[in-house]
Amino acid sequence: LMALATFICFVASRSHEAYTALAVIEVVITLLFFLLYLLKLDKKMKWLFWPLADIFNSVIAAVFLLVVCLFAIIIKTNYGTLVGGVFGLVLLVLCIVDAVVLFRKISLSGPRERNHPTR
């Protein structure tokens, strides 16, 4: 929702295309991961360790959000760009929290947890 709010602020303020592109890419990637876990496709496609891919997505998004949102706040061509930059920085914090929580939840060397008992 925060990525969507950032996207809406950047679009409404007619800010630079790079700001809008980053926000829309983050919305799309977040929706794809949400659908992946909602439809349990991560269980069917076992060739990739999806929580680790989610961590990499969060870290890379945090780096891009840091750069773009700081530029949006520093330049602040209008009020919408400033608000979009602030929402983007909040999204940056959420991405970092997501990466830390997922990293603590997974174990790369030990056995993976199962949600249901095996028969």
Per-residue pLDDT of the chain (119 residues; tens, 9 = 90+): 777 777 777 777 777 777 778 778 888 888 888 888 888 877 777 777 777 787 888 888 888 888 888 887 787 677 777 777 788 888 888 888 888 888 888 765 555 555 555 55
Distance CA 5, CA 2 (A): 5
Q: What is the pTM of this model?
A: 0.70
Summarize the chain as % helix, strand, coil (round to 5).
75, 0, 25
**What's the pLDDT at 28?**
86
pLDDT at 99: 85
The pLDDT score that the predictor gives to residue 98 is: 83
Q: What is the CA radius of gyration of the chain?
A: 17
Q: Which two tokens stand for residue 76?
A: 């602040």
pLDDT of residue 107: 65
Other residues' Cβ atoms within 10 Å of the Cβ of residue 94:
17
Q: What pLDDT is attached to residue 119?
A: 53
> So what's the pLDDT on residue 94?
85
- The pLDDT value recorded for residue 104 is 83
